[in-house]
Amino acid sequence: MMLKPYRLGALLLTVLALPVMPSVPALAATAAVAGKGHTAAQISDFLTGFYGDHGPSAQDRETRVSQILKERQQINEEVDVLLCAHNEPRDISIGPVTVAKGASVGWATVTTHWESGITDTFTAYVRLDSNPIRLDDVICAG
């Protein structure tokens, strides 16, 4: 059977208009990734260890931070983008962690305490699928 050119074009347009359905293995892989990820407790432990009392170590800054944050630090040399500050705080505390599995991210408010008695806050984000766990982004409050 020979299809006329206009029928072949119509068939092609019909096929292209069909919604693309992922294969069963692709759906299974997505479900497997969605079920995995860091817990709130793991993220809290990571952030507590990462920030410590006065800020991350040089080694943590190199190995436990996303490339985006490393690049942001290179552009903003006058401010420590991981602490949203110009110098080292007296103390750091980590608030409760929120995990949004649908967004594949967890975050916590980090509070820096300064010699003057002033405190400041920012939000630290961790991707749930980072392996090893690392700081993915920081959003300064002010």
Q: What is the 3-state secondary structure (H, E, C) of 12-60?
A: HHHHHHCCCCCCHHHHHHHHHHHHCCCCHHHHHHHHHHHHCCCCCCHHH
Radius of gyration of the chain (CA): 23
What per-residue string of b and e applies to 55-81 under the rule 16 or more CB within 10 Å gives b?
bbeeebbeebbbeebeebeeeeeeebb
What is the domain-level CATH number for residue 122? 3.10.450
**Per the domain annotation, does 30 fall within a domain?**
no
**Per the domain annotation, does 13 fall within a domain?**
no
pLDDT band per the 50, 70, 90 thresholds, residue 129: very high
Q: Could you give the CA distance from residue 62 to residue 67 in angstroms, rounded to a whole number?
A: 9
Give pLDDT, residue 121. 97
**Per the domain annotation, does 25 fall within a domain?**
no
**Per the domain annotation, does 6 fall within a domain?**
no
**Per the domain annotation, does 49 fall within a domain?**
yes
Counted domains in the chain: 1
pLDDT band per the 50, 70, 90 thresholds, residue 142: low
What the block records as the tokens of 10 is: 């119509």
Query: What pTM value is reported for the model?
Result: 0.74
Parent domain of 96: 38-140
Tell me what the mean pLDDT of segment 57-73 comes to. 97
**Per the domain annotation, does 33 fall within a domain?**
no
Give pLDDT, residue 122. 98
Q: Which of the two residues, 70 and 4, has the higher pLDDT score?
A: 70
Average pLDDT, the chain: 82
pLDDT band per the 50, 70, 90 thresholds, residue 63: very high
Give pLDDT, residue 3. 45
